[in-house]
Amino acid sequence: MDFLDPALNAYSEAHTTPETPLLHRLNRETHLNVMKPRMLSGHLQGRTLAMFSQMLRPRRILEIGTYTGYSALCLAEGLTEDGVLHTIDVNDELEDMVRGYIAEAGLEQKIQLHLGQAADVIPTLDEVWDLVFIDADKKSNGLYYDLVLDKVRPGGFILIDNVLWSGKVVEKFRPRLDKDTELVLDFNRKVHEDPRVENLLLPIRDGILVARKK
C-alpha cells in the first residue's frame, strides 16, 4: 500500500485531526499483536471514514470486514441518536479484542458485531442502508456490492477499500497482471459502468471507491 510518497502521506496526516487516544491505542495494539496490521484503516483513512459518516449522519451503516474494529469506531462517529452500525467478520479470534474496544468506546448499543461469512449474513439483515463500507476479501467485492446495492437507499453511499491494490491497477506499477489484480480491475470497471450509481475513486491510502446510489 505504500506507493504514495511517504513525505506527502506524513504531511497529510500531520494536517489531519489526530486520532483519539482510544483509536491510537487500538492502532498500536493491532500493529504489536495482530497479524497483517496493514489491514487496519489507520489514521488518515479512519478520519476519512469518520468525516463521511459525520457528513451523512447515517441511521444504518453496514461494514463488511471488521478486523480489529478501528474502522467501525470511526464510522460510528456520525451515527444518528438512534443509529446502528452492523459489522461482519469471519475471524472469531479477534472477537474479544473488538468487543472490548467497542465497550470502552461506549458503543455497545450502537455497534452490532456479526461473526460469519458475509455472503451468508448480509441477506439476514433486514435494513435499509445509508452507508456501506466494504473492506473484506477482494475477490468477493463484486458479490458484496450486488448483495447490498438494492438495500442502499437512493442517495446512500457504498465505500470500497483497496481499489488501487498497491498501485498495481496501473500497468507501470506491476511486474505482471496477476489474478488478484485482474479481479480488482474488473470490479472497478463494474462499478464505473454501473448506471445505478455515480462514482469517485479517491487515491487515499490504498484507494477508496465511492459509489452514490442514484
Domains located in the chain, CATH noted: 6-213 (3.40.50.150)
Bridge partner list, 61:
85, 131
Predicted confidence (pLDDT) per residue in 168-191, tens digit = 999 988 888 999 999 999 999 999
Q: Is 147 buried (19+), middle (13-18) or exposed (0-12) by CB count in 10 A? A: buried
Average pLDDT over every residue of 18-27: 97
pLDDT over 70 at 2, yes or no: no
pLDDT band at 39 (very low <50, low <70, confident <90, very high): confident
- Residue 22, amino acid: L
Could you give the count of Cα atoms lying within 13 Å of 64 in the half-sphere of its Cβ? 29
- Mean of the per-residue pLDDT values of the chain: 95
> In the chain, pLDDT over 70 holds for what percent of residues?
99
Average pLDDT over every residue of 117-141: 97
DSSP 3-state of 159: strand
Longest dimension (CA), the chain: 49
- Residue 64, amino acid: I
Average pLDDT over every residue of 5-30: 94
pLDDT band at 3 (very low <50, low <70, confident <90, very high): low
State the pLDDT at residue 1.
57
State the pLDDT at residue 180.
92
Average pLDDT over every residue of 189-198: 98
Question: If residue 182 lies in a helix (H) or strand (E), which one and from where to where?
Answer: helix 179-192
State the pLDDT at residue 37.
86
State the pLDDT at residue 76.
98
**Between 173 and 135, residue with greater pLDDT:** 135
pLDDT over 80 at 139, yes or no: yes
In sequence order, what are the residues at sequence separation of 6 or more whose Cβ sits closer than 8 angstroms to the Cβ of residue 201? Answer: 163, 164, 188, 207, 208, 209, 210
pTM for the whole structure:
0.95
State the pLDDT at residue 5.
82
